[in-house]
Amino acid sequence: MAAARHLLAVLTAALVAVAAGWALAPSANAAAGCAVDYTVNQWAGGFTANVRVSPGASSVSGWTVTWTYPGDSRITNAWNAQVNQSGAAVTAVNLGWNGNIPANGAAEFGVQGTFSSGNGAPTGFTLNGVPCNGSDPVPTGSPTPTPSPGVGCGTGTVLCDDFESQTGTAPAGAWTITSQDCSGLGAATVDPTTAHSGTRSIKIAGAAGYCNHVFVRAAPAAFSFGRFYVRHTTALPAAHVTFLAMRDANDGNTDLRMGGQNAALQWNRQSDDATLPEQSPAGVALSRPLPLNAWTCVEFRVEGSQLQTWVDGAEVTGLQVDGVPTPDVDRQWLTRTWRPALTDFRLGWESYGDGADTLWYDDVALGASRIGC
């Protein structure tokens, strides 16, 4: 009888251990070297955060990220993930299109929230139940790191601007001046008096009217991510203007354009004049203006049929295409198939009626992964 009781105890313990293993097993594997980087942009009573998750040396076919806030931070909105919060605990789950992360790859999503007494650094990051070495948030009020002259592009870039090596006033090296269709009062020069880093930038004197447009153009190898710093003197007008254009070989060699309309940043597709966000009051409110007389870091991702935009490190909700039509954001954009193949990169100024501006561009970089500000 004692032997039978001992055998029963052993079998019971084994079953409990197996059941516990089943209960704790994540839906997809994650390597012990996983990393979750949480970068916050904070103001009085509110914040946004960009969350970058990497599984390390192993791929995952679906991901769940968790963390805990030490204060009273409450998430009110999220993008590129389904995010829920219970008390201080947060759970973020991939969407249908971004669940697969290759080994040494990464996925990014963002959250927006509020707080009253404090927005402390979150802790306890996990990926599919495995603890990760998440980085600390960027301290509130910290200045944007300034790259050294000619540096700051990271590895794997296909274009890192060579403005510091420019010796004359006319853009040279990787850059040429172009005025598609017609030219007039617009001008592009190398400016040795104004720069985000180093001593030189590209200055664009942008005049109103279509035939006054001017750009500096580079033709890099294939890229999905871009970053540039821009400074300008005049608020974006109500009328449509463009300051970034990229030729799309999959759309009849027409342009994918970034600029402004209704005083806020927007993307525009030249082939059908679709805008991102939609130019409704609700759509425009999901974008943001371009700050005046200060250097602003603008980043973008155009990969497959996805598009993302960051300004000073914070993703702009109204400037993303995620494959799911969203009213006031990308519903108009997704009325047809869109999968661009970008073949050049142009910075400058183009207005289609009203709108003149003076702009400077510096620390331009293009590559296959996010470069950062």
Locate all alpha helices (DSSP H) within the chain, ordered by sequence.
Answer: 2-24, 281-285
Tell me where in the chain the CATH 2.60.120.200 domain(s) lie.
157-367
Pick the CATH number of 35-131 from 2.60.40.290, 2.40.50.140, 1.10.8.420, 3.40.50.300: 2.60.40.290
Apex 323 CA angle, 111 and 337, nearest 5: 155
Q: What is the DSSP string of 204-257?
A: EEEPSSGGG-EEEEE--S--SEEEEEEEESS---SS-EEEEEEEEGGGTTEEEE
Q: How far apart are CA 299 and CA 342, in angstroms?
A: 16
Give residue 1's pLDDT. 44
What does CATH list as the number for 157-367? 2.60.120.200
Tell me where in the chain the CATH 2.60.40.290 domain(s) lie.
35-131
Give residue 289's pLDDT. 96
Give residue 30's pLDDT. 58
* Per-residue tokens: 245: 């254009």
Give residue 233's pLDDT. 94
CB 229 within 8 A of CB 296: yes
pLDDT tens per residue across all 373 residues of the chain: 444 444 334 334 333 333 333 233 333 555 557 889 888 878 778 888 889 888 887 888 888 899 888 878 989 888 888 898 877 889 899 987 788 898 878 899 989 888 887 777 898 888 888 898 754 333 333 333 333 333 468 778 999 998 999 999 999 999 999 987 777 888 999 999 999 999 999 999 988 888 888 999 999 999 999 999 999 999 999 999 999 999 999 999 999 999 999 999 999 999 999 999 999 999 999 999 999 999 999 999 999 999 999 999 999 999 999 999 999 999 999 999 999 999 999 999 999 888 899 999 999 999 999 999 9
